[in-house]
């Protein structure tokens, strides 16, 4: 029992120490934090204008109409803020890489899950507004993005060519997840591709959970969304840690 408590205490200390260090590094650049909140507005502004033009002709797209589409775009804004956690990982690790402190952090008895949750917690503290609404679901999505971020960060320090390719691929995946435009506006061929994208089901669940305002209704009415949400939340952090360990052991740090 005492050994278990000691392990939990040590893990908590590692997470809090990493969180504190990352927050202090981020707070050096106040305008960067402000712009993190302003930049997603650019992404949602044009879809909002375009869809409002459609709605002026009394058009509806599935459950979305002129009355609730602002919720759709606000959810998109929240998702873009949460997506920042993915970029937090490679940017933080590249700083560690060029300061030559990365090997020390990795050689130290640092559990990789503590690494994941430490940087995730830092992002959550700085961007706490992202967790105000339906906080549990947002936290789970942030953990999913942190798992992806852990994959990105190991390539950011081990093979930057692959890191750039992965970044481009993720942008395509996000575009095909209906962040800013509703599913119904796309042609059938694009819809078929969107149906293969797990992020679409996750974001769809978050929005429907909000507008339906009924937990049981959302879970029972959208079982596929809930299933994909749960499986992704379980697998991606595990996959992120596994890929991080595998790639780092194989490639190490490249390009000081």
- Nearest CA to 14 out of 112, 134, 87 is that of 112
pLDDT tens readout for residues 143-185: 888 888 888 888 888 888 888 899 999 989 998 998 888 888 8
Residue extents of the structural domains in the chain: 2-251
> Could you count the other beta carbons within 10 Å of the beta carbon of residue 47?
18
**pTM for the model:** 0.64
Residue 105 has pLDDT above 60, yes or no: no
- Nearest CA to 140 out of 77, 195, 206, 197 is that of 206
Distance CA 144, CA 138 (A): 10
pLDDT tens readout for residues 210-235: 776 666 667 778 888 889 988 998 89
Distance of CA 7 to the CA centre of its chain: 28
């Amino acid at each position: 029992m005492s050994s278990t408590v000691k392990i939990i205490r040590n893990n908590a200390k590692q997470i809090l120490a990493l969180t504190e260090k990352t927050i202090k590094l981020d707070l050096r650049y106040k305008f960067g934090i402000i712009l993190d909140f302003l930049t997603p507005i650019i992404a949602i502004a044009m879809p909002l204008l375009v869809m409002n033009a459609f709605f002026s002709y009394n058009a509806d797209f599935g459950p979305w109409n002129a009355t609730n589409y602002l919720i759709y775009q606000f959810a998109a804004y929240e998702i873009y803020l949460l997506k920042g956690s993915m970029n937090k990982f490679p940017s933080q690790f590249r700083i560690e890489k060029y300061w030559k402190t990365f090997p020390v952090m990795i050689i130290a008895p640092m559990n990789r899950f503590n690494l994941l949750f430490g940087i995730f917690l830092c992002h959550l503290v700085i961007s706490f507004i992202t967790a105000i609404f339906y906080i549990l679901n947002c936290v789970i999505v942030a953990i999913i993005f942190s798992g992806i971020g852990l994959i990105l960060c190991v390539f950011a320090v081990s093979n930057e060519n692959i890191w750039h390719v992965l970044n481009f691929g993720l942008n395509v995946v996000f575009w095909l997840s209906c962040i800013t435009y509703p599913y119904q506006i796309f042609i059938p061929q694009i819809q078929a591709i969107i149906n293969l994208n797990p992020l679409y089901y996750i974001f769809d669940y978050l929005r429907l959970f909000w507008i339906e305002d009924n937990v049981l209704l959302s879970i029972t009415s959208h079982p596929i969304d809930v299933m994909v949400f749960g499986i992704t939340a379980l697998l991606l952090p595990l996959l992120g840690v596994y890929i991080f360990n595998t790639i780092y052991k194989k490639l190490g740090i490249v390009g000081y």
